[in-house]
Amino acid sequence: MPLDKNYIKAETNKDIVKNSGVPLQLDVINEVRVNKSAVERRCASLTNRRTVKRHNQAAWLLKAITCMDLTTLSGDDTERRVIQLCNKAKTPLRQDLLKSLGIEDLNIKVGGVCVYHQFIRTASNVLKGSTIPVVAVSTGFPAGHTPKKTKILEIKESVRNGAQEIDIVISRRHVLSGSWEKLYDEIIEYKEAAGIACLKTILATGELGTLKNVLKASLICMMAGADFIKTSTGKENINATLPVTLVMSRAIREYFERTGFEVGYKPAGGISSAKDCLSHMMLIKEELSSRWLNPCLFRVGASSLLSDIERQIEHFSTGQYSSFNRHGMA
């Protein structure tokens, strides 16, 4: 199935300087320093240095919706379940809310729908014509302990089935054993297999042990050509935290300064409240810039975040605190 033309257009319109990768530079990796206490202090301070209120908050939350990879990645997923999710993806907000905010023409929809390989076709069918890309997790998600051959095949199959974006998991063992070349080579192969599909590399930061490893792995993935670096599968005990967002944003900035390539960022898992989501967005704005706050360079992988955002937007619109049952389920 061909890629959705509208989607490609939307991306090129933004003039993103896509990452074509660079040769592995181990000296850059060896220079990496991260001070955890200082990183935490920055995160704690930033969320109190900035805030968005009222209409501005509503606007930021709308942006968050457009950057959201609405996700279902469970063992009990079924086709019906995926169809429901895709329908919600197309109309994430109640019509009357869009109207009251005067934003009908913004055509608010989510950034992508993220599913297992099994459901790519189902999702594509529902999303056809919507410009919403189908995102497939891959390479033996979530643990990544399947044979390399199968992983490559999985990527190719997913792309052939219509996935426009592939979220691969990296081999954490390469990070933990310091086998940076292996990690680099692995991503190169995935990138080749994915072709023109957008490649997001999931670091599973909760399993990398230290922030320093997170930073190193981020840089390796980017050197190997990742279009996005993504925090977590959502299955680890610790998922997207602010310190991880800070470290990965700084990695993207460092890489951009060295190469001129713009790599996207996707925190996933653990962001379930509108407030949390705003904190991550503010951190990205501060460490990178507003340019990164759009679906081409920022995604947030979430399943329950949307319903909290809907409530907050209704609160802004009506002045009354909202309730979950007033918004259609995903």
Annotated catalytic sites, by residue?
Answer: 167, 230, 266
Question: Which of 9, 12, 14, 36 is in the footprint of another protein by CB under 8 A?
Answer: 36
- 72 with 90: CB under 8 angstroms? no
Residue among 72, 146, 78 at smallest CA distance from 110: 72
What is the C-alpha to C-alpha distance for residues 175 and 103, in angstroms, rounded to an integer?
A: 45
Question: Does 210 help bind another protein (rule: CB under 8 A)?
Answer: yes
Paired tokens of 330: 């995903």
Does 101 bind another protein (CB under 8 A)? Our answer is: yes
Q: Using the rule CB under 8 A, which residue among 12, 56, 150, 304 binds another protein? A: 56
Does 45 engage in binding with another protein (CB under 8 A)? yes
End-to-end, the C-alpha distance of the chain in Å comes to: 26
Q: CB–CB of 70/85 below 8 Å?
A: yes
User: Is residue 315 near another protein by the rule CB under 8 A?
Assistant: no
Q: Which is nearer to another protein, 16 or 153 (CB)?
A: 16
Phi/psi at 181 (nearest 5 deg)? -65, -40
Residue 28 in the binding site for another protein (CB under 8 A): no
Q: Which residue has the tokens 């379940």?
A: 81
For another protein, the binding residues in 291-310 under the rule CB under 8 A are: 293
Residue 50 interacts with another protein (CB under 8 A): yes or no: yes
**Rounded to an integer, what distance in angstroms lies between the CA atom of residue 284 and that of residue 317?**
27
Contact present, 186 and 146 (Cβ < 8 Å)? no
Find the part of the chain contacting another protein (CB under 8 A) among 78-86, 121-129, 195-203, 205-213: 205-213
Q: What is the number of other CB atoms lying within 10 angstroms of the CB of residue 273?
A: 14
Minimum CB separation from another protein for residue 49, in Å? 6
Work out whether 216 is an interface residue with another protein (CB under 8 A): no
Q: Which amino acid is at 269?
A: G
Q: Is 228 in the site for another protein (CB under 8 A)?
A: no
Name which of 151 and 216 has its Cβ closer to another protein. Answer: 216
The CB-of-99 to another protein minimum distance in angstroms stands at 9
| Strands (E) located in 47-106 | 68-71
Among 52, 153, 176, 188, binds another protein (CB under 8 A): 52
How does DSSP assign 139-174, residue by residue?
SSTTT--S-HHHHHHHHHHHHHHT-SEEEEEP-HHH
Residues for the chain: how many in total? 330
Residue from the set 81, 156, 182, 250 that interacts with another protein by CB under 8 A: 250
**Which span (22-30, 55-63, 151-159, 180-188) binds another protein, by CB under 8 A?**
55-63
In whole angstroms, what is the distance from residue 267 CA to residue 272 CA?
11
* 107 near another protein, judged by CB under 8 A: no
Tell me the two tokens of residue 127.
Answer: 């999303």
Q: Is 39 in the site for another protein (CB under 8 A)?
A: yes
Residues that bind another protein (CB under 8 A): 33-42, 45, 48-53, 55-56, 58-60, 62-63, 100-103, 106, 210-212, 250, 285-286, 290, 293
